[in-house]
Amino acid sequence: MAKEVKTIGVLTSGGDAPGMNAAVRAVVRTALGHGMRVIGIQRGFNGLLNGETYEMNLRSVSEIIHRGGTILYTARCLEFKTEEGQRKGADMCQKLGIDALVVIGGDGSFRGAKALANLGIPCIGIPGTIDNDIACSEYTIGYDTAMNTAVEMVDKLRDTTQSHDRCSVVEVMGRNAGYIALNVGIATGAIATLIPERPYDLERDILERMQFTQKTGKKHFIVIVAEGAGHAQDLANEIQARTGIDSRATVLGHVQRGGSPTLRDRVTASRMGYQAVILLEKGIFNRVVAESADKIVDYDINVALSMHKSIDTTLLDVAETISI
């Protein structure tokens, strides 16, 4: 019989994502509403190892649903990747009286949760990453906000790009995943979108498309590149050298992580945070909460980490067909 969970620990780990605060808020208020205590752990697994914790109440999460970042802070923790660090983390949970842990973060965070689960600490993972690269979930907290932020920035760049008949090469986040780039490329009418999942040919995928559209009267261009597919400055230099078109690079960088979360991120985070606590209350441990067909589901953490996610090739066809 699963042990009764009376005290839940909650932490945010890895890169911050808009909507993490909404998830923390949902975890805290759902747990308190079901008679549980909540221990907030600051700075992710690093804070767990160092005992950076405090007890949370209803007012601990007031006025945070609209805020980006994470009130619990986040940090990388190399020590926690070691067996010794993981054992120390499990010991700290027991020392702090934490019966179960809710981990909000990405794939690396879930691997940390899996390690604790193997050491007897029940865990629930909530996918929070702007890259939308958690295989078991169709959607991850922060993705919508990051895309909308990128679109807003590219729209502003378009004004000066059009005024000067330039080519703007815009680098967006996505080291191993092209979800942000692909959707932003479609939304902004980019002449070309480069993603890690598909190798590109400069001549075929950019230069020839630019030349074709020039013949139809187009005089300014936007190229979107995921950071894992290439570097904006190198591409801009090459495009200008090969075409003579004034080309400028813009790296959006960490601005994509910030800002007030969109409605979708607030609602999804709230649903996932609520479900994480309900699972623990039912004695269902070591799961990852996910979204599938607009429903909140959950998977065994080992299964979740073994799953794979592929880019929607239809979106690639859409981008290549209409962005000319």
Q: Where are the alpha helices (DSSP H) in the chain?
A: 20-33, 44-50, 83-95, 107-118, 143-163, 179-188, 202, 208-215, 232-243, 263-281, 301-306, 313-322
Contact at 8 Å (CB) between 191 and 222?
Answer: yes
Count other C-beta atoms under 10 Å from residue 296's C-beta: 16
Q: Is 303 exposed, middle or buried (0-12, 13-18, 19+ CB in 10 A)?
A: exposed
Q: For 72, phi and psi rounded to 5 degrees? A: -90, -5
Alpha carbon distance 245, 166 (integer Å): 6
Q: Is 83 exposed, middle or buried (0-12, 13-18, 19+ CB in 10 A)?
A: exposed
Asked if 131 is an active-site residue, the reply is yes
Alpha carbon distance 207, 253 (integer Å): 25
Output DSSP code: residue 258.
-
- Strand 287-292 to strand 123-127: parallel, antiparallel, or no bridges (unpaired)? parallel
Say which of 16, 131, 144, 298 is annotated catalytic: 131
Which residue's entry shows tokens 């794979």? 308
- Which amino acids are annotated catalytic? 131
